[in-house]
Amino acid sequence: QKEVEQDPGPLSVPEGAIVSLNCTYSNSAFQYFMWYRQYSRKGPELLMYTYSSGNKEDGRFTAQVDKSSKYISLFIRDSQPSDSATYLCAMTRPPETSGSRLTFGEGTQLTVNP
């Protein structure tokens, strides 16, 4: 069983839609949860990260963590064609147990159509 499950999509939405991207995980020791965005022919770039459970908002993006369900989400409001990319979730255990190891999901390919 994979430690992190992410639906690879592809997901196609019209401009202006609310997008919901999700990951589930099996290891309850994960404490830091991140979302990376990867444009075509580019490396992943950090979009947001959250610690433990709760919500974090940054502009049109909201990251949500539910540790009791082992479920994380990224919401994109008023989606734009420039949001078209692959979104990767990533998570890590406390540094004393995992060193520098991030565990990534497979990535969800998103296309926002004008």
Pairing of strands 108-113, 11-14: parallel
Question: Does 1 participate in binding another protein (rule CB under 8 A)?
Answer: no
Which residue's structure tokens are 């974090």? 56
Count of alpha carbons within 13 angstroms of residue 15, beta-carbon side: 5
Minimum Å gap between C-beta 7 and another protein is 12
How many angstroms separate the most distant Cα atoms in the chain?
46
> From the list 19, 62, 87, 105, which residue makes contact with another protein (rule: CB under 8 A)?
105
- With contacts defined by CB under 8 A, name the span among 11-19, 55-63, 72-80, 96-104 that binds another protein: 96-104
User: Any residues with CB less than 8 A from the CB of 17 and at least 6 apart, and which?
Assistant: 79, 112
Please say whether the beta carbons of 78 and 60 come within 8 A. yes
Question: Does 4 participate in binding another protein (rule CB under 8 A)?
Answer: yes
Q: What track of x and - describes contact with another protein for positions 33 through 72 (by CB under 8 A)?
A: -x-x----xxxxxx--x-x---------------------
Question: Does 107 participate in binding another protein (rule CB under 8 A)?
Answer: yes
* Residues engaged in binding another protein (CB under 8 A): 2, 4, 6, 8, 32, 34, 36, 41-46, 49, 51, 88, 90, 92, 95-96, 99-107
